[in-house]
Structure 1
Amino acid sequence: MQTSSRTATILKRTAVVVAMVFAFFPIYWLIATSFKPFDEWASWPPVWLTENPTLQNYRIVFFPEAAREFAAAQQGSLDYKVSGSAWKAFQDSAIISTFATVLSVVFGTLSAYSIVRFRTGGENYPFQFLTVRMMPPIAVVVPMVALFAILRLSDTYFGLILAYTAFTLPFSIWMIRSFIEEVPAELEGAAMVHGMSQFRAFLTVTLPLVKGGILATALFIFILNWSEFLFALVLTSGKITTVTLQVANYVSASSGKLYGVQAAMGTISTLPVIVFGYLIQKHLVRGLSFGAVKR
């Protein structure tokens, strides 16, 4: 009995280790590639850990003169987009992702509260929201491009914020709805008996109780917005550049894709998400577990 139990424990731990290797290897490879020199980016056999680490890839990301030096060293040329600094891409992504996340969470919270407390739209109304998330974004890209061109929203902050908010709102509503359902309506009723309005009871009673869930939702929405590529590609034409577009732009006429520079850009672009998650970590565990068990 003890032998079988010990074997089962070993197998479970082995499975966890294997799963962790599969989960973390892409992250390791991304960081490792960002420090590799040009001749090790796509070498065979692959270089698992470079013996000649370099910061050249990070310099190309932020300093145009470093890109020109790289082009000269490779006896080739880089197009203009690659030689530009990535600062603007981070600035544009920060503005668009932050505002889109705030709008999605605010409207999602109000909509979820209306659905839970007032049964807005009936029992099947929440599922109708999910149909938007089930629809692949590519299916609506062409009409969106035409509509945004007519409204002159193409290649603008407001246009991308509107698009991101529209496609993350169903996810926001669905998640926050499950958190609000766990708060008994009797708590708000007691507050209203003492003279509070329905909206004030929501702000002072319900909202603090679901704060962790809202912050967890905000993190997921921010990740979706920060990593979005399709809408940024088709709804912009050069004036607005997001992080994902900047990564795709790292292509050299002589060297093809600049894998090391793309890896450096990808490594840096993960930092805002990590920082955001760290800042809300004390609310994150409760937020992710809140609503998991139905009453």
Structure 2
Amino acid sequence: MNRRTVLITGATQGLGRGIALVLARRGHHLLLHGRDRARLDAVAAEAARCAPDDPTGSAAPGGDPRPAVRTYLADLSDLDQVHDLAARVRAAEPRLDGLVNNAVAGGGAEPLRREVSRQGHELRFAVNHLAPYALTRDLLPLLTASAPARVVNVASMGQEAVDFDDVMMERDYEGLRAYCRSKLAMIMATFELAAELKDTGVTVNTLHPAHLMDTEGVRAYGLTPAVGVNEGVRPTVRLLLDPGLDGTTGRYFDRFTDARAHAQAYDPEARRRLMALTHRLLAAPDRPGD
């Protein structure tokens, strides 16, 4: 087994924490992201306790045989912090073999209350689509230098077509619908980025990990969890590590099955419009309150 260095966003709870602990037990180097320092330090300590001393049997003489666990604090609802996070990772890490874009804004405890990001974008669209896309793009120099490398975008079977006349859902807002639109946007961006990165050694895939996992977001919206978090950990880790998926890119998986996403994900014009909007929003210099 070759140790890989993997960055996991939203690693302090739920699916992200579960992925971190599994990778730690397998001896991989972990870069853990969160927005709460106390929770981030707690999961980092937990992962460090799980790590074997030297799973490869090939620690360099005089080197530390234990896998590394490092933490990165950032609020992904602020694009400035997203870019800063990527810059810190690029400056500190010699390689990056995997990126799991897991951090999520769910339907919310008050689903009829529309929230916005630091830059004034609808919050679910910002956290679930703009942030992972911006982070991935900013980390591409490190990912391509480390190739073969994998990007795994954690999406959902809950998908709803993006309304290009009201992308930020300023009319008839509802949190779960916003979540479903943002997750479809993530899937569409996955397909576009995978095509762009063909032959670079960097693969980009997305998945629905499990239905109604027992997470804080599911409970906050008022839904009853149907399965434990480990049900989502297994298919996500598979996309990240399975040698049988070498070279597989631009695919949407329903857990372990290569599946079809919402029809809009395969509409070239819709994808073109989404990416033009995405690039415009990421390039926008104006910030509310500046």
TM above 0.5 = no
For the aligned pair, the TM-score class normalised by the smaller chain equals under 0.3
Q: Which has the larger radius of gyration?
A: 1
The structure whose residues are more often helix, as a share, is 1
The structure whose residues are more often strand, as a share, is 2
TM-score by length of 2: 0.23
TM-score by length of 1: 0.23
